Amino acid sequence: MRPTGGNVSTNGTRTHVLRYRGPGAPLLLVPGITSPAITWGFVAERLAQVFDTFVVDVRGRGLSSSGPGLDYGLDAMADDLSTLIAALKVENVTVLGHSMGARIAIRAAVRDASSMARLVLVDPPVSGPGRRPYPAKLSWYLDSIRLAVEGMDADAMRAFCPTWSEEQLGLRAEWLHTCFEPAIVAAFEGFHTDDIHKDLRQLALPVALMIAGRGGVIEAADEAEIAALNPAIRTTRVSDAGHMIPWDDFDGFFQALDVLLGTSFGRSAA
Annotated catalytic, 192? no
Catalytic residue among 219, 223, 225, 264: 219
Separation between Cα atoms, residue 196 and residue 35, nearest integer Å: 21
Catalytic residue among 82, 99, 127, 144: 99
Say if 187 falls within a structural domain: no
Separation between Cα atoms, residue 72 and residue 42, nearest integer Å: 27
Residue 124 clears pLDDT 90, i.e. is over it: yes
Helices (H), 18-99: 41-47, 74-88
Give pTM, 2 decimals: 0.97
The model's confidence at residue 268, banded by pLDDT at 50, 70 and 90, is low
Separation between Cα atoms, residue 97 and residue 123, nearest integer Å: 9
- Burial-class residue 228 by CB neighbours within 10 Å (0-12, 13-18, 19+): exposed
**pLDDT tens digits for range 130-171:** 999 999 999 999 999 999 999 999 999 999 999 999 999 999
Query: How many domains would you assign to the chain?
Result: 1
Say if 96 falls within a structural domain: yes
Say if 76 falls within a structural domain: yes
- The amino acid present at 105, given as its one-letter code, is A
Domain that holds residue 19: 4-130+193-269
Say if 147 falls within a structural domain: no
Catalytic residue among 16, 82, 98, 243: 243
Say if 181 falls within a structural domain: no
Residue 209: closest CA among 231, 242, 194:
231
Percentage of the chain lying above the pLDDT 70 cut: 99
Q: Are strands 52-56 and 13-20 parallel, antiparallel or unpaired?
A: antiparallel
Q: ∠109-45-210 over CA atoms, to 5°?
A: 45
Read off the DSSP letter of residue 200.
H
Annotated catalytic, 82? no
User: At 92, which CATH number?
Assistant: 3.40.50.1820
Say if 152 falls within a structural domain: no
CA distances (Å), origin 33, targets 1, 114, 124, 222, 252: 25, 26, 11, 21, 22
Say if 103 falls within a structural domain: yes
Say if 104 falls within a structural domain: yes
Annotated catalytic, 219? yes
Plot region of 36 (φ>0 → left; ψ -120 to 50 → alpha; else → beta): beta
**pLDDT tens digits for range 50-72:** 999 999 999 999 999 999 999 99
- The amino acid present at 87, given as its one-letter code, is A
Residue 53: closest CA among 30, 83, 32:
30
